[in-house]
Structure formats: C-alpha cells, structure tokens
Amino acid sequence: MASSAAAAPAHPRDTRPNVVVVMTDDQTVGDLRSMALTRGLLAGGGVTFKRSYVSYPVCCPSRATYLSGQYAHNHRVLGNYAPSGGYARFDKREDLPVWLSRAGYYTIHVGRYLNGYGSDTPADVPPGWREWYGAVGTSSYRMWGYTLNENGRRHTYGAPLSDDPSLYQTDVLRDRALGVIRRRSGGGRPFFLSIAFLAPHLEGSAIRSLTEEAVRPAPRHDGLLGRARLPRPRSFNERDVSDKPRPIRRRRRLDADDLTGIRDRYEQRQESLLAVDEAVRSIVGELDRDGVLDRTYVLLTSDNGFMQGEHRVPSGKVLPYDPSTRVPLLLRGPGLPAGGVSNELVGNIDLAPTILEIAGATPEKLVDGRSLLPLARNPGLRSARPLLHETGGRRFVPGGDVDAGEAPTTRRQLTYRAVRTRRWLWIEYRGGAHELYDLVRDPAELRSRQADPRYRRTRTALHRVLHCLAHCRGDGCRAEIGPIPRPAGRRR
C-alpha cells in the first residue's frame, strides 16, 4: 500500500468522477469485432474515436506517453529496454498517478506496466499508486505462471503450462479490479483504476514453442472462433512494394505457410480477447451495482496496433502504417452522448490530459496532448492539429524474443519521424528514405507519392510541419496548422 506521492486530504463528500482505464496490448481497431459486450457498453453507451493513433507504436514508449501526456522525445523513453528505454528510463516522480494522488484521488494499478519492471529494476511499488497489483518481469507475458507484486508482496499464479481456469491471467486481473471497485465505491474519495491486460499480445517464445499457440485463450473460449474470417484489406500481402523503404522492399510475398500462421494467430488473438470482453462487462456491471456508474468515466484503448499481413508484414508493430499505429479508443461517462462518434484526429498524448481534466488535477510538468472531453461531449468538433509519429532507441537482434521481454544483444531500432494530418501521412526515415500517402485517395497506404513531382509543394509543407513537431514541447505540440498545398493539377 506504499506511495511516495503526498496525497492531499479528500473531502468526505468529494463527488468528483471516478476514472477506469482498460488497456489492452497490441489490439487493432478491427479486433473490436470480437468484443460485442464492450462495443455495446462502451461504444453504445459512450463515444467512439474513429481516428485514434499512438505516437511511438510499441509497448513501453506508448505506455510512457499514456502516463505522461508527452511525446517520446520529451519523456525520453525511446524503446522497451535499457539503455534508451524501459521502466528505469521513465520519470516516475512526476506522472499521472502522482498528479492524481496529490489531487486527492485513490489510485490503483492492476496488470502490465512498463517493460523492464521487475527485470531491469526491482519490482517496487512506483510512486503515486495507493494500491498496486503489477505483473513482474517477463512473467507478464504468460497467461499462466505469471507473478504479481501485490502491494509489495509477490504472488505467482500457477505454472507456465498450467490450464487451471481459476488462474487465467485476464480473469485474475479482472477479479483484482472488481475487488477494488467494491471497496472504493463507498469511500469518501474518487478513485482512478488502471487495468492493463496482456491480450491479445503473443505469449513468450518459450511458451509458444511448447504450446504451439500464439496466445492461449481462457479454456472456456478455446476454439469458439475457429471459423472467424481473417481480414484481408487491400494492403494484405501487397503486390508491389517498390515505393516502400528498404525494410519492406526486401520482404518476399507471403506464401501458404505464412498465411496459415497469420490465420492461426488471428484466431487465437481474437479468442484471447473474449475474456477481456467479459471483464469489461463485469467492471461496468460492478460499477452499476455499487451505484457509481453514472459518475464514472470508463475508457478502453490499446498501447499500439498490430500488423497481420499488411504490406507483407506477417506480424509486428513499430512501423508508421495504419495497422500498427491506429488503436481503439472508447469513452463513456457523465454527460457524454450514447453512441457518439468522433472523427477528429486524436492520440495517446491526449489520454493523461483527459484524465487530469476529469479529476480537476494539475500536471507538474508540460504535457503535449489536450483533453478529449470537449470532443467527447460534442463529437462533431474538428481541428487542424496534426499528430507526430516517432521511433528510435534500440531493438532486438534476431534470435531475441521482442514480444516476451527477453533482453539479448540489441541494435538500433527502425528510426523515423512522421506527421499525420486528416489527409496526409509524411514519413522521414533515418538514412534518407521518405514516404507520402494521400489518405483520402489511398487509405490503405498502397502508393507513396514521395517521388511524384505534382506533390512537391505538399512534401515541402509537411516537412516543415514535421520539423516543428519533432522538437515541440507543450503548447507547440497542440498548435493547429494551416492548409497543406494540394498536388499540382488536382482540384481536391
């Protein structure tokens, strides 16, 4: 029950809203098709942000953005592992739970945290959290045999190859969250509950090699989606990648074995989300039974997307393309329209500012995002604020298990900066390669216009915007931009 943040005394009748954040891992927007309960309760009962993106599309930098409201070039977590990334790199003295705790909120975290927690550093209770049930080290990448630090005491649940239904990770995390809600709903101070599930992320390589499954669903869901159709968007197994950078150009087209692997992973990923779907129903139901649903905001999102055959990439993230960077974002709460849909361009830099506005809390350092509450209350609002994608840091050498948290020798991560607007995606890679996509005419990002002379003025303008965003801080990251020149000879 430790916390190094000084909690302000709360008024016994503090009626500020509670906040519950549900975060999945590697979930795409399309994966919501398997979560009918979540769609009904959160999308049907609240607002869907159709154009929600993460800035750095990989686990630790993205979660650091969630907890800080900052782009990676400001919070400086530039990868999953030391020396350029990981839990030890993140400034835990000033972040969302600390700010909320100071404002009088009771703060709880359940599940996955930042990569390296409990492996690169001791499994301590980070500042700001009043209750802590954090998954420790690489065990967090197992559906059985994982270890939780429960307020300073470690507890391991089952063995890695167990299939005890009562110890399935998603369900145990759900039950921890439900217990917190029951205890805190009648308290005199509002609560902030962050619950982070592993699904649909792949389990560790050792588990995958022994079970021949990408990620194990709960036993009650095993095989339920065996006939689910693998989505094949226009970018799937892209025929011509000559306009793409070298990491894509050197990929061969996917063969029958590749397609079988993608299909199997897709089924298992979808089945693993069924337990998350039920957990969302349980959480919303508990809030309702305890009489606090009407004063609680519930938000669901993911830390990044996942490639499943698009542009010849059989699996993975990090890349700037839509399947990797676009994530679900659903928000229900007091005063929000049921079934609302926002098409505004929003990002994970906006999560912390949104929660801070709900709580009436103040950050103690500059944040780069903006609150989503005005957009949620009025989904028709639009702005011309662009978003930044950026990567860097170190990545695994082939042979290391990037998905499971193992840390062998590393080398430089694929590095790029990109600016995304409502119409354009402009990408500048370390080494000099560029891509330009007209997302109105080419939403599947199939034909880069970076060499088309008609788009010269478009590229120049986007380069200038990107230069500003790549070095922005605070207000500069939220600034709207003027019209981007259209290609020569085009009316649209």
Domain range annotation of the chain: 18-382, 394-478
Residue scoring higher pLDDT (82 or 40)? 40
Residue scoring higher pLDDT (491 or 218)? 218
Q: How far apart are CA 82 and CA 104, in angstroms?
A: 33
**pLDDT surpassing 90 at residue 362:** yes
pLDDT of residue 399: 53
User: Model confidence over 116-128: pLDDT tens digits?
Assistant: 999 877 889 999 9
Closest CA to 386 of 306, 484, 460, 452: 484
Domain 18-382 has CATH 3.40.50.720: no
**pLDDT surpassing 50 at residue 241:** yes
User: Model confidence over 159-198: pLDDT tens digits?
Assistant: 999 999 999 999 999 999 999 999 999 888 999 999 999 9
pLDDT of residue 10: 47
Average pLDDT of the chain is 93
**pLDDT surpassing 90 at residue 83:** no
User: Model confidence over 390-445: pLDDT tens digits?
Assistant: 999 865 554 555 444 555 566 677 899 999 999 999 999 999 999 999 999 999 99
pLDDT of residue 5: 44
The full DSSP string for 187-233 is SSS-EEEEEE--TTSPPPHHHHHHH--SSPPPGGGTTTTTTPPPP--
pLDDT of residue 407: 53
Q: What is the mean pLDDT of residues 433-459?
A: 97
> Maximum distance among all alpha carbons in the chain?
66
Tokens matching residue 274? 């069924």
User: Model confidence over 120-155: pLDDT tens digits?
Assistant: 778 899 999 999 999 999 999 999 999 999 999 999
Query: For 154, phi and psi rounded to 5 degrees?
Result: -90, 140
**pLDDT surpassing 60 at residue 492:** no
User: Model confidence over 300-356: pLDDT tens digits?
Assistant: 999 999 999 999 999 999 999 999 999 999 999 999 999 999 999 999 999 999 999
Q: Name the fold adopted by 394-478.
A: Arylsulfatase, C-terminal domain (3.30.1120)
Q: What Rg value do the Cα atoms of the chain yield, rounded? A: 22
User: Model confidence over 46-78: pLDDT tens digits?
Assistant: 999 999 999 999 999 999 999 999 999 999 999
**pLDDT surpassing 90 at residue 201:** yes
**What's the 3-state SS for 427-473?**
EEECCCCEEEEECCCCCCCCCCCCCCHHHHHHHHHHHHHHHHHHCCC
